[in-house]
Structure 1
C-alpha cells in the first residue's frame, strides 16, 4: 500500500450558522459543509487583515473536518469578503474523490460471539465511503453490548483504521475478545417494613442467571409499579463479584402509607361531579392494601371500598375484594344497587390487563312504566390494553376492551343472561398538526328474561362518548308510553379529524353513527359536529356542538368533557 496511517476524528453537529464564515462545497455536500462549520466554530475578526490571519488555521481545520467524512483529497481556497469592519471568511472547498472502504473485518470472539446483537451496517461494508464517525460509533456499540450482557473483562484485541490515500481506499479491523460472562447473584434489599418473602417474589430472575442490564432495569420498574415504594435504586457492581457472581443490591424507600385524593369535573352527560378517594398503600408486612372511593353528581351517587392482597408476582397479580352502593336517576331510569364481590387482576406479559371477577349484585329499579328487583351472581371477564406514546395527551396509539359477563338461573340468580361488550379506539398524528381519531363499540345481550334485566346491564347510546347529536342515554328502545328502557344491542362508531391551529389548541370535525336497539336491523342514527380541544395540564378539555342528520328536528347538542382520548 502507499502512504498509510491511522486517523481518529470527532464529528460535530452544527448548533448555528455563523455569519462570519461561509463554506462553499463543490460538488455540493451538506454533510461536509455542516461538519466544517461546526469543527471550525465561530470566526470573529475586527477587520479584513485579521480575518486573513485566521484563514490559515480555519483551512487546516476544514481539511480535518472533510477527512473525517472520507474526503482526503480536498483543495481549499480561502477568501475574505464583506466590508472592512465586518469581514466574512469564505472557504471554497473542492472535495475530490472520496476514500472507499476495501477490507472490513469486524468480529467478536469468545462467549459473546453468540450473545452480542450487532446489526450488519451498510455504512461499514466494502465500497462504502469512509466515515470516521461511523467507525467510532460501531466501536461504542460493541463496548455497550459488552456492558449490557456482563462481559466486563472484554477488550479490543485489534482496532485499526488504515487509510491508503494514494489508492483512495481504507481497511477496518475490529476484533473484540469478550472474555467470560458474569452472572447475577442474590438480591439483597435495604431495611423496609415489608417481609423478605414479598420482596423476593418481585424478582423475576433466579440467582446465577447470566448478567443482563435489562433484567436489572425490569426489577427497578417492577418495584416502582408495585405502588409500595417512593424511590428504588438497583445496583450490581462487577467490582463486588466473587467467582463471576455479582450480588444485586436494592436501596428502597417506602412511600407514605396513606394518600387522600380529591377530584372534580364537569360534562354535559352528568353535569358537575366530585370525587374523593382514600388509599392505604400497605397495611402489613405482607403488602396488603385497602381503599375507598366516593363520587357525587346530580344524577349519580356512589361509594365503594376494597381490600387487596398481592399474589405472585405481586407487582402484576393481585386479589381484590370489594363492595359498593350506587344510587342513579337519569331521565326515565332510576336504580339503586348494592354489590359485593372479588376480582383476580393480572397484567399479562403481552401487555393486556386481565380481570376475572365474581360479584353478587342486588338492584332495585324503575324503568319506564315498569319497576322491579333483581338478584344476580355474575361471573365476568375483562380484557383491556392501551398502547400510547403519552398517557395524558398521546399523539398516536390505540386501546382495546372486551367485557364478558353473565349469570345462571338458580345459582344465586333470578334468570339467565350473557352480556358482551367490545370497544376499540385508535389515534394517529400526521405531520405534527393533523390527527385522526376513530372509535367503535359493539354490544349484545342474550337472555329469555330481558324484561327482568336491570338497567345497569342494558345498552343505551347518546352523549359525549357516543352519538353526540343526542343527549346522554337518549338513544334506546322505548315502551308503550315512549319512555326509554334500554336495548339488547349496541352499535356506535365515530371518526374525527383534528387540526392544531395554535399550540395546545385544536379544532375538530366529526361524524358519529350508531344506536342502542332490540334488533340489529333497527335504524341507526348519524350526527355531524364541530369541536374545540384545549390541552390543559390535566389533559384535553373538549367542547363539541353536534346535530343529528337523520332526525334534524333534534336540534343542536352541546357537549363538554375532559380526559385522555385513549
Structure 2
C-alpha cells in the first residue's frame, strides 16, 4: 500500500503539471495574438486615408487582450470608412468587412471597399468683396484653384483655397477680412456638389508711420533701404525684404520689422523696425596652406560703421611664402546702399615667386554697383611697380582705369550642384595720362557646374586674356599673363608657363588661353573622387605650344567649403605635381 500511495502521488503531480502547462500554453497563444489590417479595392491614396480614420487601426500589430473591444471597434469601421472617403468626393461607397481569427491565433480585419461614383462640382461660386475684389493676388488664387465647375470634389482643395485666401489677406494688410459664407452642399442622390465662398476683405491697411529703434547709423541711411513709405499698403513680403537687406548691411546682428497690430486704427498701422547693432569692430585672423602660395597667414580689422553715415573701413595683411599683401579701404554707402557703394583703397604687394619678383604700391578710387544679376566694379588706380627680370630691374608708374563685371548663379554657393560664374574685365593706361607705358588689357573667365545624375558632376572652366601695348617690354610683371598652378594648368608650378627670356626665365605673355574639364563622383556623403584634364598656356605667338595635363583628385565638402587634393601629370613633360586648394567651385 505504501508503494501504491507513492506512485499515486507521483501520477497526480504529473497530471497537474501537464494541465498547468497546457493552460499556460493556451494563455500564451491568446496573449500573443496580433491584429492585421487589410484594405482592398481603392487607390493607395484612399487606402492611406481609410487606415488613418479606422479606430481599429490603433490595435494593428498589438497583442489582443480584449476580444470584446476588438469586435466593438470592428463594428465602427464601416462608418469610419465612409467618412474617410468623403474628403475625396466619394459619398456612396460599398464596404464589405470581415473579422476572423486565423489558425495561428492572430486576427485579421479585412475591408473590401468600392468607392463608387465620385461627386462632381455642379456649381462653384467664389466671391471676393471689399477692396480686395480687384487685388491681383486674390484674383490669381480664384482663377487657379482646382475648384472649378465639372471638376471632382476634393475637400483638401476647398480647405487649401480658404487657407490661401487668409494668408494673402494677412500678407497684404487686409486685417479685417472674414468669411461671410463658406460651405459645401452635397447631393448624394445625384453625386453632385456646390461650393460657395464669399470672402469679405474689408479695406486694405495703410502704413501710418515707420519707426526705427536706436541705431549707430542715421535714420536717413536706414530709409534708403526702404522699398515702401508712409501711406503705402502693408505688404509683408516687403517687410521681410527690408529685414533681409538690413541684416545684409552688416550693421546689425538682429532685425525685426513688424506691424504694430495693437495700434491699428482707422485702417492705418505703424511699422516698427527694431535693430540690434553688431559690435563696431571685427577682428579676424586665419592661417592656411596652398601649393601655389605655401603657408599663409591673414590678419584683419573691419570697422563696420565709422560714423552715423554708415561709412566702413577695412585693413588687412596677408602673408605667404610667395606673396605678401597689405590692403586698406574706406567705403561709403551710395544712393541705394543695398547695391551701391564707393570709396578709396590702397594696396602694397610684394611678390617673390620663381617667376615674378616685384613690388607694387597702389592707391585709387572704386565704385561697386549691383546691376541686375551683375556686379559692376569701376576703379581708377595710380600704381607704381618695381619688377625684376634676368637681374634687370624696371620701375613703372601707371594710371589705370578698370571695369570689371561678374555674375554668379548657383543653387548653393558652398556645395554647388548646378551653376555658373562669368567674369569680364578691361584695364587701360596711356602715356598721355601719367603712365610710363600705354596698354589695353582684356580678360574673360568662366566656370560651370552641371549635374549628371545624383552623384556625378561635370565641372568646366576657362581663362582668356589679351594685352596690347606700345612697348610690351615695359609692361609691369603683374599685368602680364602666366599659366600653371592650382587654378590654371595643374601638373605645373605656379606661373611656370609662359614666354621665356634668352636666359630661360619666364617673363609672361601677351595672351592667355586655359581650359579645364573635370568630373567627380560622390562615393560617400561630403566626399568625391575626381578625374580631370587641363590645357593651356601664356604666349606671345598663337603658334606656341599648348601644355596639357591629366590627373585625379579627392574632394571633401568641409564645414568651411570644399577642400581639394589633386595629383596631376603633364602629358608632354616629365614629373608630376600635388595641388592642395580650398574654396568654392564657382
Asked if 2 retains the 8 angstrom alpha-carbon contact of 1:335 and 1:455, the reply is yes
Once the two structures are superposed, what CA deviation does each residue of 1:361-386 show, in whole Å capped at 9, x if it has no partner? Answer: 11011134643111111111122222
Map 1:345-360 onto structure 2 (within 5 A).
345-348=368-371, 350-360=372-382
In structure 1, the partner of 2:214 is 191
Q: How many Å apart are 1:238 and its aligned residue?
A: 4.2
Match of 1:458 among 467, 480, 499: 480
Matched, 1:32 2:46: yes
Q: How many Å apart are 1:357 and its aligned residue?
A: 0.9
CA change 1:144–1:410 in 2 (3 A) is same
CA change 1:526–1:163 in 2 (3 A) is farther
Distance 1:216 1:427 in 2: 34
In structure 1, the partner of 2:570 is 548
Distance 1:362 1:539 in 2: 36
SS of 1:193's partner is coil
Q: How many Å apart are 1:146 and its aligned residue?
A: 1.5
Match of 1:467 among 467, 481, 489: 489
Asked if 2 retains the 8 angstrom alpha-carbon contact of 1:20 and 1:42, the reply is no
Matched, 1:315 2:313: no
Match of 2:119 among 72, 86, 99: 99
How large is the Cα RMSD of the aligned pairs?
2.3
CA change 1:151–1:558 in 2 (3 A) is same
TM-score normalised to structure 1 length: 0.90
Bigger relative CO (Cα 8 Å, ≥ 6 apart): 1
Asked if 2 retains the 8 angstrom alpha-carbon contact of 1:23 and 1:37, the reply is no
Matched, 1:557 2:557: no
SS of 1:294's partner is strand
Once the two structures are superposed, what CA deviation does each residue of 1:135-158 show, in whole Å capped at 9, x if it has no partner? Answer: 111111121111222122222333
CA change 1:170–1:330 in 2 (3 A) is same
Q: How many Å apart are 1:125 and its aligned residue?
A: 2.5
Once the two structures are superposed, what CA deviation does each residue of 1:377-423 show, in whole Å capped at 9, x if it has no partner? Answer: 11111222223233322322222222221112121211221212122
In structure 2, the partner of 1:47 is 64
In structure 1, the partner of 2:274 is 251
Distance 1:197 1:333 in 2: 48
Larger proportion of helix = 2
Q: How many Å apart are 1:285 and its aligned residue?
A: 1.7
Match of 2:83 among 21, 41, 64: 64
Distance 2:161 2:470 in 1: 68
Name structure 2 gaps, 5 residues minimum.
Answer: 1-33
TM-score normalised to structure 2 length: 0.87
Asked if 1 retains the 8 angstrom alpha-carbon contact of 2:207 and 2:268, the reply is yes
Asked if 2 retains the 8 angstrom alpha-carbon contact of 1:21 and 1:42, the reply is no
Q: How many Å apart are 1:100 and its aligned residue?
A: 2.3
Q: How many Å apart are 1:113 and its aligned residue?
A: 3.3
CA change 1:149–1:558 in 2 (3 A) is same
Asked if 2 retains the 8 angstrom alpha-carbon contact of 1:470 and 1:554, the reply is no
Q: How many Å apart are 1:34 and its aligned residue?
A: 2.1
Distance 2:427 2:261 in 1: 52
Q: How many Å apart are 1:260 and its aligned residue?
A: 0.8
Q: How many Å apart are 1:85 and its aligned residue?
A: 6.2
Distance 1:520 1:106 in 2: 71
Match of 1:477 among 499, 510, 532: 499
In structure 2, the partner of 1:387 is 409
CA change 1:35–1:400 in 2 (3 A) is farther
Distance 1:430 1:142 in 2: 40
In structure 1, the partner of 2:159 is 136
In structure 2, the partner of 1:496 is 518
Map 1:288-307 onto structure 2 (within 5 A).
288-307=311-330
SS of 1:152's partner is coil
Distance 2:484 2:208 in 1: 58
Asked if 1 retains the 8 angstrom alpha-carbon contact of 2:216 and 2:305, the reply is no
Distance 1:367 1:244 in 2: 75
CA change 1:333–1:113 in 2 (3 A) is same
CA change 1:88–1:491 in 2 (3 A) is farther
Structure showing greater radius of gyration is 2
Asked if 2 retains the 8 angstrom alpha-carbon contact of 1:47 and 1:85, the reply is no
Asked if 1 retains the 8 angstrom alpha-carbon contact of 2:355 and 2:495, the reply is no
Distance 2:293 2:512 in 1: 21
Q: How many Å apart are 1:444 and its aligned residue?
A: 1.6
Name structure 1 gaps, 5 residues minimum.
Answer: 1-18
Q: How many Å apart are 1:168 and its aligned residue?
A: 2.1
SS of 2:52's partner is helix
CA change 1:174–1:511 in 2 (3 A) is farther
CA change 1:87–1:396 in 2 (3 A) is farther
Map 1:280-291 onto structure 2 (within 5 A).
280-291=303-314
Comparing 166-175 and 296-305, the one that deviates more: 166-175
Map 1:262-273 onto structure 2 (within 5 A).
262-273=285-296
What is the number of residues matched between the two proteins?
544
Asked if 2 retains the 8 angstrom alpha-carbon contact of 1:380 and 1:405, the reply is yes
SS of 2:156's partner is helix
